């Protein structure tokens, strides 16, 4: 029966195509745009008029367009119907509420690159690497980023329920997020650490990022800072011009920052520093990880290429492409990747997921959970193309920016990870319990100071609150995850008591990447000495997380 329904459609289709060939006899279809457009028109018309079920003509065209874009294999290109684009424009230019998550298409799912620190998604427990399975009751496994963002945004104060896939868990986790206006400082705090080393986290690239960073650095220099750690971990990027302005602070006039290259010559552009290095004698270490993307990678790549900074941490995300918007007939919009970003020595920032160089989770043991709860994957430099920095150091391409000194964060063992996975299955219940406990803890201890320690009684008190918020929790699994639980209890208490700066100080002892950066800077006086010190660091072996 299936053959009897389909055959007439196929016969009609091939008749139309054959007719097209006869009419264009002697003309190469490959060079005749008209023929291709006509065939598409005829197919749509025939399906619309003769298919066994009634179909929507507009839907047929949109499906054809989306299929075409999907064939490009580029998660950043998409088609926006006029209604969706206008909705997005109004929400972007006016007041809107969001969930505070930076997302991209990866591995067939809309994936969280980085939760904005302190944002609603971050507070409820959504983590980098989580993938959207469902948004507001709508299946998300076939969505593009723009479609997901459209559902996630809304009026501040309203809720959106999502279901997320998380590595290591078979079933999706459900979270209910209350939307908020997302307005955060690019530099939440700055501080001088041991041996006159300054520390500045740069969390995003918005209109004031370069100004905020320069103000923070100048203030620390007045306090005696002689070297700097710039933390770009978890920075999802943002405005290109701000990434260039930040890089310009540390390069000499005329030094290249980033180049865009496209098939169309109009997309080719070279950006260079326009001012002298503002801090020429100041050694600089930049912290990066898999959540460092886009403009953050431009900074890291340029300063590494010019031997102006040493990178410590993990290979960055690899979002290095340029999207252009094209208005179409009827008000629809095509967002198309038209160029890619290259570092000054010619490394492509963009990570090609089909190249085999991008990391992928194949089996348990090839990844681990950091104590922060983020998934950590080792990325090998094997097979990556090699480049030389301005000073002759070997650098690696292949997508993302590979650090000079690989340093993995503090990770959990196999048994610990099992306990943490069970907590993750509680969805937002774990984070809600953390918040409730921290608020009460701070209220009962108004004189608490940074460096506080939790007692076993404190852990048990939180266990009781967790059971109330998330249901019965197996005590053995909870004990297995105790190191993770204790870390996050301290983190939430410090955040509630003193904000982002206090949270940083409380957790500093767990930060292996920062510790490595401080160790390098304590031994040097100039940027050149820092580069030499980094070259002497023994390469970090890919860790075994089965233990």
User: Any idea which residues carry the catalytic annotation?
Assistant: 294, 305, 319
User: Which residue's structure tokens are 């905020």?
Assistant: 212
Q: Rounded distance, CA 229 to CA 521, Å?
A: 9
Q: Hey, what long-range contacts does 47-51 have (CB within 8 A, 24 or more apart)?
A: 47/9, 50/8, 50/9, 50/12, 51/9
Q: Which residues have C-beta within 8 Å of that of residue 386, sequence separation ≥ 6? A: 394, 395, 396, 397
Within 303-385, strands assigned E span 310-313, 321-327, 333-342, 368-369, 375-376
Hey, what are 88's tokens? 């997005």
Per residue, the 3-state secondary structure of 453-492, as one string, reads: CCCHHHHHHHHHHHHHHHCCCCHHHHHHCHHHHHHHHHHH
Q: Rounded distance, CA 44 to CA 38, Å?
A: 10
Q: Rounded distance, CA 245 to CA 161, Å?
A: 38
| Helix ranges restricted to H, 269-334 | 295-305
Is the distance from CB of 238 to CB of 294 less than 8 angstroms? Answer: yes
Q: Which of 163, 150, 204 is nearest to 182 (CA)?
A: 204
């Amino acid at each position: 029966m299936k053959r009897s329904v389909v055959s007439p459609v196929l016969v009609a289709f091939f008749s139309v195509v054959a007719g097209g060939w006869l009419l264009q006899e002697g003309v190469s279809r490959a060079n005749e745009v008209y023929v291709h457009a006509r065939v598409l028109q005829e197919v749509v018309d025939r399906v619309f008029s003769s298919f066994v079920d009634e179909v929507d003509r507009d839907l047929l065209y949109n499906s054809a367009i989306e299929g075409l874009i999907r064939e490009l294999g580029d998660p950043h290109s998409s088609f926006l119907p006029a209604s969706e684009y206008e909705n997005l424009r109004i929400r972007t230019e006016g007041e809107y509420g969001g969930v505070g998550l930076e997302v991209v298409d990866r591995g067939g799912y809309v994936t969280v690159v980085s939760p904005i620190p302190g944002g609603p998604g971050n507070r409820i427990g959504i983590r980098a690497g989580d993938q959207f399975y469902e948004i507001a009751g709508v299946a998300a496994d076939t969505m593009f980023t723009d479609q997901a963002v459209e559902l996630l945004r809304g009026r501040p104060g309203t809720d959106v329920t999502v279901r997320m896939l998380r590595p290591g868990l078979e079933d999706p986790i459900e979270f209910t997020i209350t939307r908020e206006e997302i307005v955060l400082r690019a530099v939440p705090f700055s501080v001088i650490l041991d041996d006159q080393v300054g520390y500045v986290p740069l969390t995003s690239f918005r209109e004031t990022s370069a100004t905020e960073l320069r103000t923070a650095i100048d203030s620390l220099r007045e306090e005696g800072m002689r070297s700097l750690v710039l933390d770009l971990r978890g920075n999802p990027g943002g405005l290109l011009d701000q990434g260039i302005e930040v890089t310009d602070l540390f390069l000499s006039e005329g030094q290249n920052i980033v180049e865009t290259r496209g098939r169309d010559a109009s997309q080719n552009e070279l950006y260079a520093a326009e001012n002298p290095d503002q801090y020429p004698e100041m050694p600089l270490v930049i912290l990066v990880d898999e959540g460092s993307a886009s403009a953050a990678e431009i900074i890291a790549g340029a300063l590494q290429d010019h031997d102006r900074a040493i990178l410590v941490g993990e290979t960055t995300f690899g979002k290095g492409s340029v999207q252009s918007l094209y208005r179409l007939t009827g008000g629809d919009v095509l967002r198309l990747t038209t160029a890619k970003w290259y570092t000054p020595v010619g490394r492509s920032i963009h990570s090609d997921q089909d190249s085999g160089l991008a990391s992928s989770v194949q089996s348990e043991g090839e990844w681990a959970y950091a104590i922060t709860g983020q998934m950590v994957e080792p990325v090998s430099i094997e097979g990556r193309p090699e480049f030389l920095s301005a000073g002759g150091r070997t650098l690696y391409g292949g997508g993302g920016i590979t650090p000079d000194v690989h340093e993995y964060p503090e990770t959990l063992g196999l048994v610990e990870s099992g306990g943490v996975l069970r907590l993750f299955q509680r969805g937002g219940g774990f984070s809600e319990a953390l918040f409730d406990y921290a608020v009460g803890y701070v209220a009962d201890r108004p004189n608490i100071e940074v460096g506080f320690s939790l007692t076993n009684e404190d852990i048990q008190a939180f266990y009781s609150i967790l059971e109330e918020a998330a249901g019965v929790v197996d005590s053995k699994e909870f004990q297995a995850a105790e190191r993770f639980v204790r870390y996050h209890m301290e983190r939430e208490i410090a955040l509630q008591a003193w904000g982002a700066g206090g949270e940083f100080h409380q957790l500093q002892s767990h930060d292996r990447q920062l510790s490595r950066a401080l160790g390098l800077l304590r031994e040097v006086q100039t940027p050149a000495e820092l580069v030499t010190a980094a070259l002497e660091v023994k390469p970090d072996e890919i860790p075994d997380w089965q233990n």
